[in-house]
Structure formats: structure tokens, C-alpha cells
Amino acid sequence: MSGQNLFKQAAAIKADELVKNSISECRRCGTCCKKGGPSLHIKDQPLVEKGAIHTRYLYTLRKGELARDNVKGQLAPIAGELIKIKGRATAWTCIFYDGIKNACKIYADRPVECRVLKCWDTRAIENMYAENRLTRRHLMSGVKGLWELIEDHETRCDYALIKRMVQELDTGCKNEAAENLLEMIQYDTQIRGLVVKKSGVSEDMTDFLFGRPLLETITTLGLRVKQSGKMHQLVPVGR
């Protein structure tokens, strides 16, 4: 789900109530926080670098990856890389939202989107939403060795390449494209484990370093990996 549409949805949910009560300031209802964490911008880079927002709480949506647009009600490939704050387990709620106190746990160090957002007037967030995005290059290009692995992964697991392979699949998902996709998914899985084992990076950082696992995101393309013993096969979702 794109952040811009997330904010529009939050505004739409509250629209009737806001009009009735002429709300012009935050009521700390938590609606925005419950609809997902914000995307980060270059202005947020110091927050990550000083540890106010640790990379274990971030994940990357890679260019071309399918993400849900809740306004249009469909999946669409994103135009450029996004770094977002994680939700809680399977929920969208921002990991830094305190549901008991209806408060942000990092309020003093909250990202720029959170500072700009007004649910009663989304013009400011819409104007800056796609500008000056923070990317992994800003944060990781100086980390020799690890950055090269990220770049290699991005090339080998490019979503444009994945899309072409999916289009080349036969109805049984057993042709050369299927074999290449399985090899790509295997590489994606192995590189995560290797980085955790060899570099000491915690496992919960790999969604930031390499994006969401292909084992998960391949399902957005209508496929899943079926395992039978040591054999793996691509099959349509639902089979």
C-alpha cells in the first residue's frame, strides 16, 4: 500500500466526523498510525543514523514490487524504492504506536511524514510524498562489502526480470522460466541467511537490506512455492 493512498484513506474514514465537528487539530485518535507506518525521506536520515529509528524496524519496498493501493483496490508496481516503518506482526499498525496511551513512542524523533500529516487536510503530505525519498543507497553505500551484496541482489532479483519470467511460464509452471524463478527465490533466501551468519546482522534487518522475501512477494503474482521432500515447484496460489 502506498503511503499517499494510506493517508487519503485515513482522511476519508474520518471525513464525516471531521466535517461535523470542524476538527482542525490532531485528536490523537490513532487512525493514521493504525493504517501503517510512514515512508522515510532524506530528512529522516539522521533519525536512522543516530539510532532513533533502528533499521530492524524498517523494511524496503523495491522498485517494481507490487504494493496494494487501497483507494483503487488493486495491486500496482511502485515506481521507486521506498523505505517504510514496519507494522506489528500481521497488522498494519505502526510498530511505534502505543495503543494503550494512544501515543507515538518516538514522538520527538518521528519521521517527517508524521510531522506533516494532517488528517483533516492532506495537501501538505500529498505535495511532499514522492519527493526526496530515503533509499538504501543513502544509508548503506558506505558499508563496504554489504552494499555490494545489496546491489548484486537488486540486479539478480530485479522485479522487472521477475515479471518477464512470470509471463513466460507455461500453464504447468514447469518450463525454463519456472526453473530460473526457483533459482532466484533460492538465492534470495540463501543470501539472507548468509548475511546473518557471516556478518552478525540480526535476522529482522534482512527485510530492510534485501526487501521482503521473494517467497512471500511471489504470491502477489499469483504463484507460490510448493515443497515435496527436497523438490520445489512453482504452482498457482490456491493449489
pLDDT of residue 29: 87
Q: Which of residues 97 and 127 earns the better pLDDT score?
A: 97
Q: How far apart are CA 121 and CA 23, in angstroms?
A: 10
Phi-psi region of 143 (alpha: psi -120 to 50; beta: other; left: phi over 0): beta
pLDDT of residue 20: 42
Q: Which of residues 95 and 237 earns the better pLDDT score?
A: 95
pLDDT of residue 127: 85
Q: Where are the domains of the chain?
A: 3-135, 141-236
Q: By three-state DSSP, how is residue 93 classified?
A: coil
Q: Which of residues 67 and 154 earns the better pLDDT score?
A: 154
pLDDT of residue 40: 96
pLDDT of residue 76: 84
pTM (two decimals): 0.85
Please name which of 204, 194, 182, 200 lies closest in space to residue 152, comparing C-alpha atoms. 194
> Within 10 A of 59 (CB to CB), how many other CB atoms are there?
22
Which range has the top average pLDDT, 71-80, 129-138, 221-230?
129-138
Q: pLDDT, tens digit, for every residue of 3-43?
A: 555 555 555 545 544 444 566 788 888 888 998 899 999 99
> Within 10 A of 33 (CB to CB), how many other CB atoms are there?
25
pLDDT of residue 25: 80
The yes-or-no verdict on residue 180 having pLDDT over 60 is yes
Q: pLDDT, tens digit, for every residue of 89-114?
A: 778 899 999 999 999 999 999 999 99
pLDDT of residue 18: 44
Q: How far apart are CA 115 and CA 109, in angstroms?
A: 10
pLDDT of residue 128: 86
